[in-house]
């Protein structure tokens, strides 16, 4: 039983590993992952802070401020990395419009980086709480035009 099972398992594993290796070698997939990674970090902090600001989770000024500072640090990154030609299909929600209007998109992203840094520099948690809605306008303003809800085909 064991003897029969092992080669089958080994075969399945090598097919699965080949899939992983292919993704790792694919420069387009890498670019997509690179631009999605900071968005995930941003959303994790932003979502947490929005929930706290709304009272969905208990208010904790120290934690709120720490998350806000983290958003400021992410604003130091070049969030335009990964927006390369030919990368607007497959496992991405970035619409091809990003490529067609890359100058407008870049301008929005650079404004967002500044907004994140400014937000991170706000002196105290209460003032940050008052400013979180404005920060969220950046997300909406860009996603509406450049991000779809589903992956592109
Ligand atoms: C200047 C444009 C722009 C701004 C500003 C922006 N995003 Fe995005 N965001 C995008 C694009 C484009 C994608 C799709 C990237 C992809 O799938 O390749 C994306 C993807 C995402 C994703 C999905 C990431 C994944 O793993 O696929 C989340 C979550 C997200 N954004 C949250 C936010 C939040 C929260 C904000 C504001 C605090 C924000 N974004 C601001 C353009 C923007």
For the chain, domains (ranges, CATH) are 27-146 (1.20.120.10)
Separation between Cα atoms, residue 115 and residue 118, nearest integer Å: 5
Tokens (6 digits) for 115: 């907004």
User: Which is the closest atom of ligand 1 to the Cα of 92?
Assistant: 17
Separation between Cα atoms, residue 90 and residue 22, nearest integer Å: 14
Q: Whose CA is nearest to atom 24 of ligand 1?
A: 36
Is residue 64 lining ligand 1, measured as CB closer than 6 Å?
Answer: no
Q: Whose CA is nearest to atom 8 of ligand 1?
A: 39
| Residue labelled with tokens 């979180």 | 132
Three-state DSSP class for 121?
coil
- Tell me: the pLDDT tens digits for 65-86? 999 999 999 999 999 999 999 9
User: Which string of DSSP letters, residue by residue, matches 27-64?
Assistant: HHHHHHHHHHHHHHHHHHHHHHHHHHHHTSS---HHHH
In this prediction the pTM is 0.88
pLDDT band at 153 (very low <50, low <70, confident <90, very high): confident
Residue 16 has a pLDDT of 52
Considering the chain, what is the average pLDDT of its residues? 91
């Amino acid at each position: 039983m064991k003897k029969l099972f092992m080669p089958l398992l080994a075969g399945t594993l090598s097919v699965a590993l080949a899939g992983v290796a292919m993704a790792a070698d694919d420069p387009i997939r890498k670019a997509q992952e690179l631009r999605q990674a900071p968005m995930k970090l941003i959303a994790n902090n932003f979502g947490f802070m929005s929930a706290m600001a709304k009272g969905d989770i208990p208010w904790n000024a120290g934690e709120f401020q720490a998350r806000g500072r983290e958003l400021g640090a992410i604003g130091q990154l070049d969030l335009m990395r990964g927006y390369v030609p030919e990368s607007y299909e497959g496992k991405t929600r970035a619409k091809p419009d990003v490529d067609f209007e890359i100058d407008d998109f870049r301008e929005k992203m650079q404004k967002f980086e500044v907004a994140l840094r400014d937000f991170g520099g706000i002196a105290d948690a209460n003032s940050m709480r008052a400013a979180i809605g404005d920060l969220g306008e950046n997300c909406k303003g860009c996603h509406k035009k450049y991000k779809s809800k589903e992956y592109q085909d």
